[in-house]
Amino acid sequence: MDNLTPEDFARRVTDLGLSERRQVDVALSDLKSEQRTLEGVIAQLQRRGLVTTLQTEKILRGDRIGYFYGEYKVLYLIGAGTFARVYRASHDEKVVAVKVLRKRFRDEPAELEQFLREGSMGLKLRHPNIVSINEVVPDRRNPFLVMEFVEGQTLRELVRIRGALPVDLSLRLINEIAAGLAHAASVGISHRDLKLSNVLISSSGRAKLVDFGLAALSDRNNPDKIADCPNARAIDYAALERGSGVRKDDPRSDIYFAGNMLYHMLTGTPALTETRDRLARLNISRFQDIEPVTKHVEVPGLVSQLLNKMMEFNPEKRIQSASALVAESKRVIDALARGQTKREGENLPKVGEEYQDDDVASDEGEGYVVMLVETKATLQNAIRERLKARGYRVLIIQDPNRALARFQAGDDPPADCVIFSASELGSLALEAYNRFATDEHTAEMPAIMLADRRQARIIAEARGGPRRQMLSLPLRVRELRATLMKVLAGTERRPLGTY
């Protein structure tokens, strides 16, 4: 919107019902006159939580609609696909997810029916491993679903960040996915679109199935019905079912694609080559010529056997149902637990242990998130790759002030240790490092400063402490690893799947 004044923006916030006028006035009263620019007003209202980034962008564009769906106020966009968008929204302080059919499909009867079918089926499903749908609004001009909001990330994002997941975590997640599938099957619903992006991992580490948009009520009265390919999302299932000679909606199809997910978790790569080529996806050999999981990663024999039974091309030899998969995966989990001989943490490095700069992966950093504040791409990549190989998750931020802003009093910290690098940032890194040591909500958190020996002032002025360490550049990996273990001593590791 051209020539929008600070007063115009504030008025739009209240006129749209995003916040009460009294709250806006109180927030603006804390601004000095020279701060009452458009940028200053926006920043203040965002700091006070009276307007979100998404709402701000819409106001600045001059949008008149899209701030509310029914009684639910839209806060942020949390997911977008070809078919629909998903927003974080709120009503009466309750946070929900609102799934909205894209405009171009609202006049398409098949797509609209599929979207509303997803909602109607979801209303029937109440299970800890399925995202609940609480309301379906079938307004043809503006259809949407109101869903349980899950704080976390998709399984695809977790695998993209972490790479191959540990065997125990992969098995636990597939067991929970199977439990959700089994509940859906108990009311005659299959999923029909199993993939990593359709599984959410909550902040507590629980797997929750989402998007039953291609689900179908099994037609038990028509066993000869053959699978078709109504759209791109259904091709993989249809190709498998045609090739293996089973009817559409065979419950064992979900088992096969759950196997592809387990393979992807264990190896970091899918068993089925991902492609947009329709002919390639319809090729039956794609489902038969699966590389053994052991070509990518070493796994216990029981795990390999389970995976082979899930991805057996012959449906008669495949695990026959989701409930059977729950039992089979639990049996493998229990067997591996009984065979575990090492005490938990026995193989973790001790503080002060000598490290070698090698490329051997280990799990010493499992459960820890490290934030690196650095602008130099070569150093970013070197530290990220070496720490990732040891099980750490590494967040990269270039702006020291943005890094500090991620740590808010009362919120769970985004990282367990922050590494400030002064190689390029100089005094900015020093100021952030020292502020991190003095701010009440971060004073006890681990931090490491990287500085060149020639940066004498920075070395002299950096605040020390039991959980504050200084390392010199160029950096030696073994020193960084040993220092991390030292400053993180006493910090509780995060549960697998939650970081």
pLDDT digits (tens), the chain, 499 positions: 558 899 999 999 999 999 999 999 999 999 998 999 999 999 999 999 999 999 999 999 999 999 999 999 999 998 887 788 999 999 988 999 999 988 888 888 888 887 888 888 888 889 999 999 999 998 878 899 999 999 889 999 999 989 999 999 999 999 999 999 999 999 888 888 899 999 999 988 999 999 875 554 444 444 444 444 445 557 888 889 888 888 777 889 999 999 999 999 999 999 987 777 777 777 888 888 888 888 898 888 889 989 999 999 999 999 999 999 999 999 999 988 887 533 333 343 333 333 334 444 456 788 899 999 999 888 888 888 888 877 788 999 999 999 999 999 988 899 999 999 998 899 999 999 999 999 999 999 999 999 988 888 898 899 888 889 999 888 888 889 889 988 998 898 888 666 6
- What is the distance between the alpha carbons of residues 95 and 72, in angstroms, rounded to a whole number? 9
Class of domain 71-149 as given by CATH:
alpha beta
**Cα–Cα distance list, 353 to 114, 150, 291, 414 (Å):** 59, 40, 39, 28
pLDDT of residue 482: 87
**Residues that constitute the known binding site for ATP:** 99
- What is the distance between the alpha carbons of residues 181 and 383, in angstroms, rounded to a whole number? 40
- One DSSP character per residue, 300-318 reads -HHHHHHHHHHS-SSTTTS
DSSP letter at 217 equals: B
- What is the distance between the alpha carbons of residues 346 and 426, in angstroms, rounded to a whole number? 39
Cα of 387 vs its chain's centroid, Å: 20
When the candidates are 1.10.287.110, 1.10.510.10, 3.20.20.70, 3.40.50.300, the CATH number that belongs to 156-338 is 1.10.510.10
Q: At residue 432, what is the residue type?
A: A
**Residues that constitute the known binding site:** 99
Q: Is the pTM of this model over 0.75?
A: no
The residues, any chain, with a CB within 8 Å of residue 217's CB and separated by 6 or more, are: 121, 188, 189
- What is the distance between the alpha carbons of residues 468 and 476, in angstroms, rounded to a whole number? 18
Q: Which residues are catalytic?
A: 193
Outline which parts of the chain fall under CATH 3.30.200.20. Answer: 71-149
Q: Which pair of tokens denotes residue 414? A: 């985004």
Site of tokens 């769970």: 412
- What is the distance between the alpha carbons of residues 260 and 171, in angstroms, rounded to a whole number? 13
The answer as to CATH 3.40.50.2300 being correct for domain 369-487 is yes
pLDDT of residue 253: 92
How deeply is 171 buried, as exposed, middle or buried, from its count of CB atoms within 10 A (0-12, 13-18, 19+)?
Answer: buried
pLDDT of residue 379: 86
Q: Which pair of tokens denotes residue 281? A: 């996806």
DSSP letter at 388 equals: H
- What is the distance between the alpha carbons of residues 16 and 14, in angstroms, rounded to a whole number? 5
Outline which parts of the chain fall under CATH 1.10.510.10. Answer: 156-338
Site of tokens 């199809």: 253
CB burial string 362-383: b at 16+ within 10 A, e below? eebbbbbbbbbbbbeeebbeeb
CB burial string 95-130: b at 16+ within 10 A, e below? ebbbbbbeeebbeeeebbebbbbbbebbeebebebb
